Every structure is written in structure tokens, then in C-alpha cells.
Structure 1
Amino acid sequence: MTVLHRSHDRGITTLTLDSPANRNALSAALVGELGTALADCAADPGVRAVLLTHTGTTFCAGADLKSPPDPAAFVALMRAVVELPKPVVARVTGHVRAGGLGLLGACDIAVAGPDSTYAFTEALLGLAPAVISMPLLPRMDPRAAGRYYLTGERFGAAEAVRAGLLTEAADDVDAALAPVLDGLRRASPQGLAASKALVTATVVETFDRWTEDLSARSAALFASAEAKEGVTAFLERREPPWVW
């Protein structure tokens, strides 16, 4: 059963995350299918840009704790979005959590609706937003990252724009995206690839510098007793013992 659907219209390929049963969490299946779809888009001259969207009320809930992807595969997926020689635009009308923010942050343009919410929940589980920092920290306001990384607070689309996670918050997401997609259709493939390379250069350098270190940190945290307790408490819908 596929967890990703593709459609195409006038140069724009839409990739729709479709695993509502687990809130489009980053399972091994979803990461694999999305990686394959992006590679196909890169190789297809008929694709001018990619629109990444979702079914259900959640864009992406983060890592699937019951069927997690290989960590290296998830890092490779985020980097594939950043390095795709075609723009990737996120259309968000639902919630984004934890690792889902890494996928969102890797996109070139992100437009979200008023019902969307965001939270870095890792610290609440004994983890840290380690590998997702590579596409996020070069783009986020440092003070916002410091607050939301540490507190796990939930915030809305307007604050996500201020923090640097989103390009635009709009009551009508599709109306806001219309001029964006029109502009991408009017741009030349070479012009888009060269322009994207300019604006993603710092993010690519961050992947080059930090992938090994942050992947090791993430693995160590997931293997720790504290994180195992935090994840167990989350799955059992109870508070972990460190909550006062």
C-alpha cells in the first residue's frame, strides 16, 4: 500500500503524503517512497518544480516511533530536497511536529494555513532536534530556535513565519500559492537550478560539516535510557518521571 501519491499539472509535480493513520509520520516506507519520487522528479525534464503536500490534519508528525526509517535515509531525504535542482514548495494545512519540521525546513518555499501548528517536541522525550538542525538552523531566527527547541511549545503559522520556518501564512493557501507556482512555471530550468544553488549553499555546507556528528548525537540520544523512557511514556500517553 503506497503512502505517497503523485500527480502532475503544467510542469508542477505534486507529491502528497498519504498516511493519515499515523499522521504522515516518517516511517521507513514514507521516507523510501518520497526519496524515490524526488529522484524521479530530478531526472524528468517535464518537472519544473515539486509541490509537497498532505492528506489529513497533519503535514508530518515526525519520526514514526513504531516503524522508524534508517536515520541515514532520513538525512539523505532532507539533503535530497535541499539539493534537488528544482524548487520544492511545501503546502501545509495541518500540524507539523519534530522531524516533520526538518522536512518542511528543507523545502525552498513553504506556505501554510491558519489551522497549522508547529512544535519541536524532542526535548520533552529526552531527545534533541539534532539532524533536522541542518536544514533548519541556517534559516531560523536564533532566538526563536532557542526558545522552541528548549520548551517544546506549540505555536501557530504567523509565529512560524517570524521564526523563519515558513515563507507565508495565508487564510487561503491555494490562492497564496497561485502566483508562486505561476512564477516557477515562467522561470527557465537552468535559471531555477542556478538560483536555488545560491540560496541553499549555506544549508548544503551545513550538511557537509555536521552530518556525521549530528547523526552520531542523534543515535546516542535514541539509545539512552532517558529517551527510551520518554518514548515509552509518549506511546503510553503518560507523563515521563522528570515532569514536575
Structure 2
Amino acid sequence: MKGLVQHTHDRGIATLTLDSPANRNALSATLVSELRDALKECGRDGTVRAVVLTHTGNTFCAGADLRDPPDPRALVKLLRQLVELRKPVVARVTGHVRAGGLGLLGACDIAAAGPEATFAFTEVRIGVAPAVISLTLRPRTDPRALARYCLTGEEFGSAEAARIGLLTATGADVDDVLEPVLDGLRRASPRALAETKHLLAAKVLENFDLDAGELTRLSSRLFASAEAREGMTAFLERREPGWVL
């Protein structure tokens, strides 16, 4: 049976493609599990120099799957796995990114998007908070901008995402943007890449060590709350939640 994460390999670059168009590549328990397995395989494969994380369809990731949500602890493990992987991870985005999908971007070492991509922290609009994904985002994103977009749920584009540090780069053709990046990764020594990534990820991992437990518990409490039930029901029924003024 076809899985939700497709895996290809070309000249040292493993490409993992989120391929769950029925739910806009939302983070279901199944997708999180398959992505973790694919990352483990890449980590063990000595022929893999770096990993590209991309998607099918017009959405990179719509956030948590509200019908089949992953356990918050599983999402923490996935994000930490991306950060700890001893090989660079590059996000290639040509579509929309929402909520938990932004946590994936924050966990990647390099992230590039085309002009068609849009971004939004939509958690507050369904009665929860970007708790777990803040582990990867707070160390790498402009704090003033993060406050604005997390508190309001506003949508913003690729240029703004690059300005605030969510993206590394953006351009009219994301593959043109990534061409010199992938060439550089292929030219780098595997051990040097591993040690350099470890050096650069140290502050992010400190965030996990300090806050992962508390934020996991917060996420669980919020998802079980009455406001979250109303917010998620309203989202699935395509209506405004009862608190909207």
C-alpha cells in the first residue's frame, strides 16, 4: 500500500515528500510515524549527504490532523529528530503552511519557498496554542514578528517569512533558489556537515531540554479543553467559532 511519505535519492540528496493530499499533508499520527521512520532510514544510510523535505499538492502541511491528531509527545520527538539528524535538512515549499507545518520549517536547517506559499499560525483561531512547535521557532524567528503572527493568526507571504527568519530564502522559482544550496551540500565533507549542524543546532536542542515536557503537557491540556472542541468543530463545519466578536 502506498505510504504517506515518498522517498527518492539523487546524488547524495534524499528527498522525502509528504504525500497525503486528502488532508492537505496534515500531521496525522500515521504521517508523523512514517516521517520518523523515513528520517531514521536517511540517518543510517551512508550514501545520504542531506535531506530535502517537500510535498505534493498546494499545501506543504496544514498543521495537525484534527481527525487523527498525533500525540504531542510524538510531534516533539519528530521535531527533535529533524534537529538532531546528523545530516542537513532542507525544506522545499511551493504551497501553504499552517500551524504545525511551521514547526517543521523551524526544525529544518535551511528552508526555501516560492512566491505562491503562504503561512499562518492558526492555533489561536481553533482554541489552542503553538506550544510544541515553539520549541523550534522561538530560537530561530524574530520574537516581535512571532508574537504578532501567533497572537493574531494572520496570513503572511514568503517575503515576510524570510524577513522574520522562518525561511532562509525565497524566489520566483524555488528550485533555482535551492540549486546552489544542494550543490554546496554535495561538495561538503559528510563529517564536517554533521559537526557543523550539531554546532548550529545546540541552542535549539537546549530549548527542547528545558521546555519540551512543560509544553507537551500544555498542548495536551489545550486540545482537551472546551474551547478547543468548539474551535475544531467549527473548523470542520466551516463556520466561525462561538467566541468570534
Give the TM interval when normalised to the shorter protein: over 0.9
Offset of residue 126 of structure 1: 1.0
Offset of residue 71 of structure 1: 1.6
Partner of 1:39: 40
Partner of 1:207: 208
Residue identity opposite 1:222 in structure 2: F
Offset of residue 48 of structure 1: 0.3
- Residue 11 (structure 1) aligned with residue 47 (structure 2): no
What TM-score do the two structures reach when normalised by structure 2? 0.99
- Residue 198 (structure 1) aligned with residue 199 (structure 2): yes
Counting only pairs closer than 5 Å after superposition, residues 72-91 of structure 1 correspond to structure 2 as 72-91=73-92
Percent of pairs identical after alignment?
Answer: 68
Partner of 1:96: 97
> Which segments of 5 or more consecutive residues in structure 1 lack a partner in the other structure?
none
Partner of 2:61: 60
Question: Root-mean-square deviation (CA), in Å?
Answer: 0.6
SS where residue 63 of structure 1 aligns? coil
Offset of residue 68 of structure 1: 1.1
Partner of 2:132: 131
Looking at structure 2, the residues matched to 198 and 55 of structure 1 have their Cα atoms a distance apart, in angstroms, of 32
Looking at structure 2, the residues matched to 243 and 169 of structure 1 have their Cα atoms a distance apart, in angstroms, of 34
Looking at structure 2, the residues matched to 194 and 48 of structure 1 have their Cα atoms a distance apart, in angstroms, of 13
Offset of residue 69 of structure 1: 1.4
Offset of residue 133 of structure 1: 0.2
Looking at structure 2, the residues matched to 219 and 72 of structure 1 have their Cα atoms a distance apart, in angstroms, of 9
Looking at structure 1, the residues matched to 185 and 170 of structure 2 have their Cα atoms a distance apart, in angstroms, of 19
Offset of residue 243 of structure 1: 0.5
Residue identity opposite 1:149 in structure 2: C
Offset of residue 31 of structure 1: 0.4
List, as ranges, runs of 4+ consecutive aligned residues in structure 1 with deviation greater than 4 Å.
none
Offset of residue 143 of structure 1: 0.6
Looking at structure 1, the residues matched to 214 and 75 of structure 2 have their Cα atoms a distance apart, in angstroms, of 15
Looking at structure 1, the residues matched to 231 and 13 of structure 2 have their Cα atoms a distance apart, in angstroms, of 41
Looking at structure 1, the residues matched to 73 and 215 of structure 2 have their Cα atoms a distance apart, in angstroms, of 11
Looking at structure 2, the residues matched to 39 and 3 of structure 1 have their Cα atoms a distance apart, in angstroms, of 16
Residue deviations 1:34-74, cap 9 Å, x none? Answer: 00010011111100000000000000000000011122111
Aligned residue pairs total: 244
Residue deviations 1:117-136, cap 9 Å, x none? Answer: 00000011110000000000
Looking at structure 1, the residues matched to 18 and 151 of structure 2 have their Cα atoms a distance apart, in angstroms, of 28
Offset of residue 222 of structure 1: 0.6
Looking at structure 2, the residues matched to 59 and 184 of structure 1 have their Cα atoms a distance apart, in angstroms, of 23
SS where residue 155 of structure 1 aligns? strand
Residue deviations 1:137-158, cap 9 Å, x none? Answer: 0001011001000000000000
Residue identity opposite 1:53 in structure 2: T
What TM-score do the two structures reach when normalised by structure 1? 0.99
- Residue 122 (structure 1) aligned with residue 120 (structure 2): no
Offset of residue 28 of structure 1: 1.1
Partner of 2:166: 165
SS where residue 89 of structure 1 aligns? strand
SS where residue 86 of structure 2 aligns? coil
- Residue 153 (structure 1) aligned with residue 154 (structure 2): yes
SS where residue 177 of structure 1 aligns? helix
Offset of residue 175 of structure 1: 0.8
Looking at structure 2, the residues matched to 39 and 96 of structure 1 have their Cα atoms a distance apart, in angstroms, of 24
